[in-house]
A and B are shown apart, each in its own frame.
Chain A
Amino acid sequence: MAWQAVDRIHPVIDKDAPQILSDAVREKIRSFFPRYETKRAALLPALHVVQDALGHVNHQAMKEIAEVLEIPPSDVLDTMSFYTHFWDHAKGEKVVVVCRSLSCQLMGSDAVLQAAREELKIEEHGTTPDGKYSLVTEECLAACDHAPCVLVNEKMHKRVKPDQISKLLKDAKNDEITFPRSSLFDKPAKKATADPADLPRTSDVREMKES
């Protein structure tokens, strides 16, 4: 087994790379400023806005968020790495979240997760090769009365049976919520940007060679 180490020699961000946050996104982030006493408090909304627009928040986006909020980029990384909701590498268009907490487990979430794994042919935290789906598990989704539950992007699917998974994942409208949306946060981007800079996290880990 070759030793793998995080590459700290080469810079993570290309200094000459063009901006990836559009003016509209920046304006949206700024619209949260009047709500709070400090600009840093708008960080969580900003991360939501960027993740909704780009699909994930990479290092370049973190740096640009830091510029807008006037805080060090390391603070953005510090906060972002704490929360499980944010992705620092490309995720699928739709994220399938299977609840694995006690109520759901007692009602059979293990079988649901297994069915989803087989249907998508990926492991937990994996993304399908066509970039359509990512599969994750999470602790309680607060829908224990409808256990076992599965969240597809914004839509909660209740009392899911393992044999319904196949149909559910083939349905193109499985992430549409029935309630009127508020315009405060956008829908997660349909097409996640496929930028070469957005390689998965493993690209930061390079094999160290003797050279």
Chain B
Amino acid sequence: MAKYEPVLLKNVGVEGVRNLKVYRERGGYAAAEKALKNHTPAQIVEIVKESGLRGRGGAGFPAGVKWSFLPEKRQVTYLCVNADESEPGTFCNRVLMEEDPHQLLEGIIISAYATQTTTAYIYMRVEFHEQFHILQTALDEAYAAGLFGKNLFGTGYNLECFIHRGAGAYVCGEETGLIESLEGKRGWPRIKPPFPAIEGLFRRPTVVNNVETLCCVPHIIERGAAWFKSIGTEGSSGPKLYTISGPVKRPGCYEAPLGITCRDLIFGDDYGQGMIDGRKVKGCIPGGLSVGVLTESELDCKLDFDEVRKYGLLGLGTAGAIVIPQDADIREVLANVARFYSHESCGQCTQCREGTNWMYKIAMRIALGAGRIADLDLICEVTRKMGMMPGLSICGLPDGAAYPIRTIVEKFRDEFEQHIRRQEPGRVEQVLKRLNPAIYELPIIGQRGSHTYHRAG
């Protein structure tokens, strides 16, 4: 196979590409000019639809189709750019904004024109300090050059663009949570429908797109939908940024056509280059924490939007791989994953608020060496009783919690059982007594601690 030529990352490492002048010299903003001068908004939506560009934020919803949901007659439309990248293991948006901010801005101009957006907001997580200053500087520069504001490229189209900084909440990466947060409220996801395309930010039609999705748009306009479709696999077209972290030799962000295997990503010469210190792979979380885990024997899974589901995973997610080495304690991994979701659950839906905390408690119990075999079944049962798939929650966060926890417990069950069998006798009682002394001082009625008052005689 010929060496893959990067598209999204083509400007990475180029000296001074954060400056507008250098970016323009490398052919920047030509696609935006072409789109605004030669195409109507409807034509661009058609091109993007035809290219099969699917949202890179996790759900994989076709971007062009999303745009076409906007109502015909509308005065004001908003475009929200989702730069609230908080999925553990994912940092491709950070790289895009840090290395090539103008590419994102160009994507915003074209997408905003296609959706006839009046104002675009970039919702950026607050932990991106350096990235904020880079992007804000780039945006100021673009404003000064007349790329934003009034009468873009002399076409009479007006567009405002602002960066809105978040304040540290994972759930604000959910599109309606993001909208609520932008309105100055708690980042509680909204009940859908109405979908944001009908009633979103300030109750106006709104499009929410991921940074990486928008960065693909200029290239589609420049080179055409057919070119875009020729990259990747059937149903998952285009280049994708894969990120890899954990104990590999070369952790980082790599661009590849959709559909490379997880093994390639870890061991490939162009990507991770194998493990450090000759460590072995125990498993790999291939697409951001929420999708679930692959065992060592399943590493040949193709990472595209559809193939991963055959391995019991939620989806491709954000394609941020975390490699778990052989010497890592799987109980610690489970406890870490469970803690993340119990910390980030927004607290709106009962089964998520309580369920994630239960799972964290169970996982902690197992990690402390006080697990029981029944705990493994219990934790799996909790995961099946939460999320959008049984239809119980407003947003997808509990699904994202259920999949990794369930797949870790199910795929590494032998290991958990070994650990539990090796526990010293009496450890369970000892730890539980420390965690919750009250229940051990209850009177025992019918072999169970009872809350009913026990009367002697």
Contact = CB atoms under 8 A, between A and B. Distances in A.
B183 A145 contact: no
B85 interface: yes
A185 B245 CA distance: 31
A185 B129 CA distance: 10
B395 interface: no
Interface string B158-182: 0010111111111000000000011
Contact of A142 (B128, B137, B162): B128
B324 to A, nearest CB: 7
**In which size bucket is the chain A interface?**
35 or more
Contact of B140 (A38, A102, A107, A182): A182
Interface string A72-92: 000000110011111000000
Contact of A103 (B88, B93, B130, B332): B88
A143 B78 CA distance: 29
A114 to B, nearest CB: 15
A48 B167 contact: yes
Given A79-B186, A182-B137, A138 B168 contact: yes
B90 A144 contact: yes
Given A45-B165, A83-B167, A102-B333, A180 B127 contact: no
A102 B245 CA distance: 10
A42 interface: yes
A61 interface: no
Interface string B132-146: 111011001000000
**In which size bucket is the chain B interface?**
35 or more
Nearest to A80: B167
Contact of A143 (B91, B169, B244, B333): B91
B422 interface: no
A67 interface: no
B336 interface: yes
Contacts of A192: none
B165 A44 contact: yes
A1 interface: no
A87 to B, nearest CB: 11
Given A40-B184, A83-B167, A139 B88 contact: yes
Interface string A25-43: 0000000000111101111
A184 interface: yes
Interface string B113-137: 0000001000001111110111011
A179 B98 CA distance: 10
A145 B93 CA distance: 13
B205 interface: no
Given A102-B289, A142-B125, A144-B251, A44 B167 contact: yes
Contacts of A48: 126, 165, 167
Given A44-B165, A151-B127, A177-B129, A102 B285 contact: yes
Contact of B322 (A37, A44, A103): A103
A42 B247 contact: no
A106 B328 contact: yes
Contact of A106 (B87, B169, B202, B324): B324
A40 B201 CA distance: 13
B147 interface: no
A141 interface: yes
Q: Which 10 A-B pairs have the closest CB atoms?
A: A43-B184, A83-B167, A144-B245, A182-B136, A154-B129, A82-B186, A85-B168, A85-B167, A140-B88, A101-B88
10 contacts: A36-B182, A38-B202, A40-B184, A48-B165, A79-B184, A82-B186, A85-B166, A139-B170, A145-B253, A184-B163
Given A38-B184, A41-B184, A45-B165, 12 more contacts: A38-B202, A44-B167, A44-B182, A48-B126, A69-B184, A85-B167, A101-B89, A105-B332, A139-B340, A140-B89, A142-B93, A154-B129
